[in-house]
């Protein structure tokens, strides 16, 4: 069954700031679950990601590792990272699928000043729309997982989009489809959480006392979660212990909007005072009408939210008529 | 495969991929399935997570499989027999073997003749001058009835059971640790888990691949594992077995159809010059029963052989002409890889046709191979891609002006571009459809081979020539004789009732009177009147064990687990009712397709119908060249003396080719490090060097070496490093790793270096050929080269090479 995409949040718009509690009722969201304990690091997902998203080959050289590239890039949205670590005298070859975690509260989206460059769909996927990207890279600093990558040639930022085109058509993301050991699962967040708990239980019964689900609360949880065998050693997997969606840009922007609204209010009051004191202005011979004198109000700015025709946002109706629910 | 046939009667993976989910313990040794069989490996992960199975790896490196295993033990390359022999001793010493199984289903009770002996590293019957054994010295003792004498009490000092105990008694945990370089504690912890399956309610499996076959003792490594699995009662049972993981999608199919020298399709034997008549060939190829109560299914050899000749020569194969017996070339000497290239090296081989592989990169000792190829008059390479083998004259260091070899390259279609079948490791023949058309002008292998045949035939017709009959009389009645269809070939392989034209449904219908045909008896039943059985895609699995009898066709007879009679006890009751292979219900066997007569009562015959003994062979009396039991011999290039018998350090019956002894390092300090070669998951042998996205995932040739050694040598991670053996040298990026540790072997520290095989001088990225380093020597039975264990030296690239 194909799913129609509905937008939940839009960058640089009042829709970016909908309180999470208001969103929770929006309906089921998807999640990808990566079981690090079952991953063999074959890079099948890495190749499938490039194939499906047509990212192309990025020339690389062996740098003393099984890892194909040193880092994520605009052409490598998914990277298998390899790390050799000794835990209690036992060698562990930690292999982690590094890609966007699709935060419930996406720091990239909150940080983005370009209207519509980053959207979050109601199904949980966080997607970049390059046509609206202004290349400022605020999303790069806003991401607590260091995922988005800036392309110096196109001046745009990109990252994993959870194969949103496949998901819209009712398919799983390409990486999930290709995984040979079922280390990547796909389903509703609810089901994936239950599966994750089961997998943690299995790991614990195999002696991994600290096995844990990685679904950090600081970003409201994620739509790509990990089952981590050594939950007490997150940094060895290059996973931040307590990531948060940096609220700074959002708060600052909100504050500025509030200031703007007050200033506008004072302006209106000033005009009113002027009117009361001096009375209505008379039309001159050239016939200038009232419209020429009406300044842009807050609502007009909101109207700049891009709405690609296919997208709609019923839960938080956007558009010129809606009042900005400024926090 | 030689050793599986020597033990059980058939040379194939005993169980199948999905069956691995039914196990309690998985020992991965001589294999790295996460790396080389990632799709099949899912069943190991499933057993681990859903059943709580223990996943164990024993390997010279901590591999991708080890990364998801419960336990890993590092050993020195080439020490496998010591470890497995130690496990056999541990099972017997601690009474952990499955006693009822061993008594019912193995030759433990058989009494061996007085001549048999083993002392100081040699079995009795050794002929030093000929470097071989007279195997009659290993014969069983016969009773007055002519059958083998048996002792059900197992107490007879010359019973197989007692001989086995005595033979492996030397493999104490201390000896194992000394030879393999592991610690005694590590070994004992492994042994405890592995030998926990010697009970009716537990079952364990072993997954192995070329990490075992590619040694001078390759067959005997597998034999040791087979003996262990028999002692633990793990053969024939769902979740058990000794599972040979084949490299490419269709290696099993290729082997079944005689890709190996010395066999005809269906593991029939190639006639030899002394077999001057069909009668002699039959009598020497048809085994006679060694006990009264055995099915001895190979007794049907004449039916399989005659039906094959009818498939090939049709009306020209008659009783009067010995069913065209004389048409077949008689094989004089061995035509294994090493022997062929030895001939070329000596200049006595004129031409070579390489079809679907890259011989230059696939064989050992590339410098010798390049020299051999240069002496060929002509060489034909048939492949979808331009290969290093076709352009061997361009290899680094070659001077094309000195080479007269004429090379013909014929581009052929890729398997993606044609229909056909793949037979996977688990013997499932699965039909596949063509995905895309080949590029214009590119021909299929069947077109190329048919055209070759027709042009030779027409030449013979025009000019005559020696032994014209077999060529003129070869059956070739296809709709388009210039390019037979895969369906036609599949039907021909299945075979017909020649009186009615009906497709046969089982090899049970084959006869030796010329009224049936079959191109390969084990595939009879794969394409019947009911249609192409390989194309079936039914997913029913009533037993829940993943047998899927309606999915494709599994040889033989759509049987999913080989030797499944042994999954039940002497009375026919499954050892473990929750994982029953087959069960006797009083009238017939139910469950899997029984590897036994469907209505044959449990006590009527032994469980292993393919052996003359009727049971499986703990003692392999006549089948292998290098001993009825296995013995630890060092690799021909070893960093250590043989701790068991230094006077016989290496396999005494391997074949030495000219000049090979001189090409080996003999324990000197110039080549102090053990080296092994292997594959990585990102690449598939050499063909993927043409696929950009796969090259990107593992772009460059590299050398893996342990941290301590890198420190000693001043080699930084990611820097260029040079590795050389007495035969050649390679250079690549160093991966300095914790995954290979120094080992203490016989009191001396041994370092191991690892090298991947996927690079050559053709392809998107170029790199050193790993086989520049490997020795030109092979297994005593199969001649499979010893790729997996040899000696090298190493230094940072750029510094002066140490001259020797």
- Residue A1 confidence (pLDDT): 43
User: Which residues in chain B have their CB less than 8 angstroms from residue A206's CB?
Assistant: 48, 52, 70
Residues of A near B (Cβ–Cβ under 8 Å) read 37-44, 46-47, 50-51, 57-66, 68, 84, 86, 91-93, 95, 180-183, 199, 202, 205-207
**H or E segment to which residue B338 belongs:** helix B337-346
Beta bridge partners of B702: B733
Distance CA B515, CA B495 (A): 11
Query: What DSSP assignment string belongs to B474-485?
Result: S----SSTTS--
Provide the pLDDT confidence category of residue A18 given band limits of 50, 70 and 90: low
**Interchain CB distance below 8 Å, A64 and B65:** no
**Interchain CB distance below 8 Å, B697 and A58:** no
Of residues A15 and B748, more confidence is placed in B748
- Residue A156 confidence (pLDDT): 97
For B597-608, give one letter per residue: b (16+ CB within 10 A) or e: eeebebeebbbb
For residues B788 and B753, the answer to whether their CB atoms sit within 8 Å is no
User: Which residues in chain B have their CB less than 8 angstroms from residue A180's CB?
Assistant: 38-39, 41-42
Mean pLDDT of B285-303: 96
B384-430 pLDDT, tens per residue? Answer: 999 999 999 999 999 999 999 999 999 999 999 999 999 999 999 99
- The rounded mean pLDDT for chain B is 96
For residues B782 and B215, the answer to whether their CB atoms sit within 8 Å is no
Length of chain B: 804
- Token pair 């999905």: residue: B18
**Among B589, B627, B629, B624, which Cα is nearest to B609's?**
B589
- Residue A4 confidence (pLDDT): 64
A57-102 pLDDT, tens per residue? Answer: 999 999 999 999 999 999 999 999 999 999 888 999 999 999 999 9
Contacts of A131 (CB under 8 A, 6+ apart): none
- Residue B333 confidence (pLDDT): 84
Would you say residue A296 has pLDDT above 60? no
In sequence order, what E strands does B647-701 have?
A: 673-678
Would you say residue A2 has pLDDT above 70? no
Distance CA A185, CA A200 (A): 14
**Among B575, B635, B522, B594, which Cα is nearest to B264's?**
B522
Alpha-helix runs per DSSP H in A187-297:
189-205, 248-278
Tokens read off for B728: 């050649």
Three-state SS for B407?
strand
**Among A178, A181, A176, which Cα is nearest to A162's?**
A176
Closest-CA residue of A relative to B51 is A202
**Tally of helices (H runs) and strands (E runs) in chain B:** 22, 31
Q: Calculate the alpha carbon distances from B581 to B254, B359, B544, B546 in Å.
A: 28, 41, 11, 11
- Residue A13 confidence (pLDDT): 85
pTM: predicted TM-score of the whole model, two decimal places: 0.91
For residues A110 and A246, the answer to whether their CB atoms sit within 8 Å is yes
**Residue B419 neighbours by CB distance under 10 Å:** 15
Distance CA A101, CA A122 (A): 16
Would you say residue A254 has pLDDT above 60? no
Provide the pLDDT confidence category of residue A284 given band limits of 50, 70 and 90: low
Contacts of B338 (CB under 8 A, 6+ apart): B364, B655, B657, B776, B777, B778, B783, B785
B485-515 pLDDT, tens per residue? Answer: 999 999 999 999 999 999 999 999 999 999 9
Contacts 24+ apart (CB under 8 A), A303-306: A304/A115, A305/A10, A305/A13, A305/A15, A305/A115, A305/A116, A306/A10, A306/A115, A306/A116, A306/A129, A306/A132
A139-148, A259-268, B388-397, range with the lowest pLDDT: A259-268
User: Which residues in chain B have their CB less than 8 angstroms from residue A50's CB?
Assistant: 693, 696
- 3-class SS letters over A126-165: EEECHHHCCCCCHHHHHCCCCCCEEECCCCEEECCCCCHH
Closest-CA residue of A relative to B738 is A84
Tokens read off for A322: 């809606």
Provide the pLDDT confidence category of residue B6 given band limits of 50, 70 and 90: very high
Would you say residue A306 has pLDDT above 50? no
**Interchain CB distance below 8 Å, B699 and A61:** yes
- Residue B476 confidence (pLDDT): 96
**Among A34, A36, A32, A31, which Cα is nearest to A210's?**
A36
**Interchain CB distance below 8 Å, B696 and A68:** yes
**Residue B728 neighbours by CB distance under 10 Å:** 21
Beta bridge partners of A226: A34, A214
User: pLDDT exceeding 70 applies to what percent of chain B?
Assistant: 99
Provide the pLDDT confidence category of residue B596 given band limits of 50, 70 and 90: very high
Mean pLDDT of B28-48: 97
Question: Using CA of residue B280, residue B284, residue B290, residue B293, what is the dihedral sign?
Answer: negative
- Token pair 């591999």: residue: B63
In sequence order, what E strands does chain A have?
A: 7-10, 30-35, 79-87, 90-98, 118-121, 126-128, 149-151, 156-158, 184-188, 212-214, 224-228
For residues B165 and B156, the answer to whether their CB atoms sit within 8 Å is no
Interface check for B708 against chain A (CB to CB < 8 A): the answer is no
Closest-CA residue of B relative to A95 is B67
User: Which residues in chain A have their CB less than 8 angstroms from residue B694's CB?
Assistant: 47
Tokens read off for B172: 């104490």
**Interchain CB distance below 8 Å, B48 and A206:** yes
**Interchain CB distance below 8 Å, B67 and A93:** yes
Rounded to the nearest 5 degrees, what angle is found at the Cα of A127, between the Cα atoms of A126 and A129? 150
Residue to substitute from A59, A80, A91, interface B, most B β-carbons within 10 A: A91
Interface check for B52 against chain A (CB to CB < 8 A): the answer is yes
- Residue B668 confidence (pLDDT): 74
**Interchain CB distance below 8 Å, A92 and B67:** yes
User: pLDDT exceeding 90 applies to what percent of chain A?
Assistant: 66
**Interchain CB distance below 8 Å, A57 and B693:** yes
Distance CA B358, CA B390 (A): 8
In sequence order, what E strands does B21-137 have?
A: 25-29, 54-59, 71-74, 118-119, 122-123, 126-127, 132-133
Distance CA B362, CA B770 (A): 9
CA of A294 to nearest chain B CA: how many angstroms apart? Answer: 58
For residues B432 and B422, the answer to whether their CB atoms sit within 8 Å is yes
Of residues B777 and A296, more confidence is placed in B777
Would you say residue A293 has pLDDT above 50? no
Contacts of A269 (CB under 8 A, 6+ apart): none
B144-180 pLDDT, tens per residue? Answer: 999 999 999 999 999 999 999 999 999 999 999 999 9
Contacts of B368 (CB under 8 A, 6+ apart): B341, B345, B659, B663, B727, B776
- Residue B801 confidence (pLDDT): 43
For residues B614 and B289, the answer to whether their CB atoms sit within 8 Å is yes
A278-282, A293-297, B597-601, B798-802, range with the lowest pLDDT: A293-297
**Residue B542 neighbours by CB distance under 10 Å:** 9
User: Which residues in chain A have their CB less than 8 angstroms from residue B754's CB?
Assistant: none
Beta strands A30-35 and A126-128: pairing type?
unpaired
CA of A194 to nearest chain B CA: how many angstroms apart? Answer: 15
**H or E segment to which residue B188 belongs:** helix B184-194
């Amino acid at each position: 069954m194909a799913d129609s995409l509905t937008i939940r949040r839009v960058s640089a718009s009042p829709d970016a700031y909908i309180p999470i509690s208001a969103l929770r009722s929006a309906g089921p969201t998807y999640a990808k679950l990566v079981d690090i304990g079952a991953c063999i690091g074959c890079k099948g997902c890495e190749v499938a990601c490039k194939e499906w998203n047509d990212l192309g080959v990025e020339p690389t050289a062996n740098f003393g590792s099984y890892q194909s590239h040193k880092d994520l890039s605009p052409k490598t949205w998914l990277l298998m990272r390899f790390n050799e670590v000794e835990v209690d005298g036992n060698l562990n070859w930690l292999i982690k699928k590094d890609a966007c975690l699709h935060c419930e509260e996406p720091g990239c989206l909150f940080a983005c000043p370009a209207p519509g460059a980053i959207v979050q769909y109601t199904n949980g996927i966080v997607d970049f729309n390059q046509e609206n990207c202004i290349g400022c890279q605020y999303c790069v600093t806003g991401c607590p997982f260091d995922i988005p990558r800036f392309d110096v040639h196109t001046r745009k930022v990109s990252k994993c989009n959870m194969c949103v085109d496949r998901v819209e058509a009712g398919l799983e993301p390409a990486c999930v489809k290709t995984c040979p050991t079922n280390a990547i699962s796909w389903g509703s967040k609810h089901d994936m959480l239950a599966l994750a708990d089961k997998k943690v239980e299995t790991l614990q019964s195999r002696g991994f006392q600290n096995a844990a689900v990685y679904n950090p609360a600081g970003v409201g949880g994620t739509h790509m979660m990990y089952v981590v065998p050594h939950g007490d050693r997150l940094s060895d997997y290059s996973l931040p212990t307590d990531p948060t969606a940096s609220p700074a840009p959002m708060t600052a922007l909100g504050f500025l909007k509030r200031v703007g609204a007050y200033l506008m209010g004072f302006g209106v009051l000033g005009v009113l005072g002027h009117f009361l004191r001096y009375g209505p202005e008379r039309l001159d011979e050239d016939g200038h009408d009232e419209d020429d004198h009406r300044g842009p109000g807050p609502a007009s700015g909101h109207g700049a939210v891009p709405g690609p025709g296919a997208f709609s946002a019923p839960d938080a109706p956007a558009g010129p008529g809606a009042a900005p629910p400024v926090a | 495969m030689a050793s599986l046939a020597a033990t059980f009667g058939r040379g194939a993976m005993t169980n199948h991929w999905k069956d691995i989910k039914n196990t309690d313990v998985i020992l991965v040794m001589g294999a790295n399935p996460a790396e080389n069989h990632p799709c099949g490996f899912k069943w190991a992960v499933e057993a681990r997570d859903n059943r709580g199975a223990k996943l164990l790896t024993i390997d010279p490196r901590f591999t991708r499989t080890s990364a998801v295993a419960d336990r890993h033990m590092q050993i020195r390359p080439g020490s496998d027999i010591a470890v497995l022999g130690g496990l056999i001793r541990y099972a017997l010493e601690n009474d952990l073997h499955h006693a009822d199984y061993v008594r019912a289903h193995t030759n433990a009770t058989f009494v061996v003749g007085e001549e048999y002996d083993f002392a100081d590293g040699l079995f009795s019957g050794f002929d030093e001058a000929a470097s071989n054994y007279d195997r009659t010295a290993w014969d069983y003792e016969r009773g007055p009835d002519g059958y083998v004498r048996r002792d059900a009490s197992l107490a007879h000092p010359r019973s197989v059971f007692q001989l086995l105990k005595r033979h492996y008694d030397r493999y104490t945990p201390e000896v194992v640790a000394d030879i393999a370089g592991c610690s005694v504690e590590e070994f004992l912890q492994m042994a405890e888990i592995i030998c926990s399956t010697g009970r009716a309610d537990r079952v364990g499996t072993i997954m192995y691949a070329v990490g075992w076959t590619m040694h001078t003792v390759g067959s005997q490594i597998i034999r040791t594992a087979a003996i262990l699995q028999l002692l633990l009662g793990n053969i024939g049972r769902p979740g058990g077995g000794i599972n040979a993981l084949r490299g490419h999608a269709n290696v099993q199919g290729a082997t079944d159809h005689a890709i190996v020298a010395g066999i005809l399709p269906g593991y029939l034997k190639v006639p030899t010059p002394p077999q001057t008549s069909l009668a002699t060939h039959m009598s020497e190829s048809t085994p006679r029963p060694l006990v009264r109560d055995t099915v001895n299914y190979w007794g049907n050899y004449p039916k399989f052989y005659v039906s094959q000749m009818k498939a090939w020569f049709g009306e020209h194969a008659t009783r009067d002409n010995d069913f065209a017996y004389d048409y077949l070339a008689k094989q004089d000497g061995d035509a294994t890889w090493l022997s062929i290239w030895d001939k070329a090296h000596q200049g006595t081989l004129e031409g070579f046709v390489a079809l679907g592989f890259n011989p230059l990169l696939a064989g050992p000792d590339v410098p010798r191979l390049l020299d051999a190829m240069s002496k060929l008059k002509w060489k034909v390479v048939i492949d979808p891609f331009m290969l290093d083998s076709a352009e061997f004259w361009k290899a680094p260091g070659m001077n094309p002006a000195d080479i007269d070899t004429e090379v013909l390259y014929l581009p052929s279609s890729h398997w993606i571009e044609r229909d056909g079948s793949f037979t996977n490791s688990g013997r499932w023949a699965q039909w596949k459809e063509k995905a895309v058309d080949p590029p214009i002008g590119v021909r299929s292998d069947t077109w190329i081979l048919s055209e070759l045949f027709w042009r030779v035939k027409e030449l013979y017709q025009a000019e005559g020539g020696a032994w014209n009959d077999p060529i003129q009389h070869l059956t070739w009645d296809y709709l388009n004789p210039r390019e037979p269809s895969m369906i036609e070939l599949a039907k021909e392989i299945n075979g017909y009732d020649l009186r009615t034209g009906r497709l046969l449904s089982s090899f049970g219908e084959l006869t030796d009177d010329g009224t049936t045909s079959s191109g390969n008896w084990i595939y009879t039943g794969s394409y019947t009147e009911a249609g192409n059985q390989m194309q079936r895609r039914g997913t029913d699995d009533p037993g829940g064990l993943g047998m899927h009898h309606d999915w494709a066709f599994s040889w033989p007879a759509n049987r999913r687990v080989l030797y499944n009679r042994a999954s039940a006890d002497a009375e026919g009751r499954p050892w473990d009712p929750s994982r029953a292979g087959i069960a006797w219900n009083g009238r017939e066997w139910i469950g899997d397709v029984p590897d036994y007569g469907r209505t044959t009562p449990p006590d009527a015959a032994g469980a292993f119908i393919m052996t003359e003994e009727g049971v499986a062979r703990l003692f392999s009396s006549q089948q292998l060249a290098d001993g009825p039991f296995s013995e630890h011999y060092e690799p021909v290039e070893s960093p250590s003396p043989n701790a068991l018998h230094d006077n016989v350090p290496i396999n005494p019956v391997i074949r030495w080719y000219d000049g090979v002894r001189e090409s080996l390092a003999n324990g000197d300090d110039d080549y102090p490090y053990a080296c092994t070669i292997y594959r990585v998951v990102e690449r598939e042998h050499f063909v993927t060097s043409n696929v950009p996205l796969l090259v990107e995932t593992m772009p460059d040739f590299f050398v893996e070496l342990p941290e301590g050694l890198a420190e000693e040598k001043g080699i930084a991670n990611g820097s260029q490093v040079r590795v050389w053996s007495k035969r050649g040298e390679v250079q690549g990026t160093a991966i300095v790793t914790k995954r290979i540790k120094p080992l203490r072997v016989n009191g001396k520290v041994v370092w191991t270096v690892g090298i991947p095989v996927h690079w050559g001088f053709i392809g998107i990225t170029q790199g050193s050929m790993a086989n520049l380093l490997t020795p030109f020597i092979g297994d005593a039975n199969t001649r499979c080269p010893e790729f997996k264990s040899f000696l090298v030296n190493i230094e940072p690239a750029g510094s002066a090479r140490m001259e020797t």
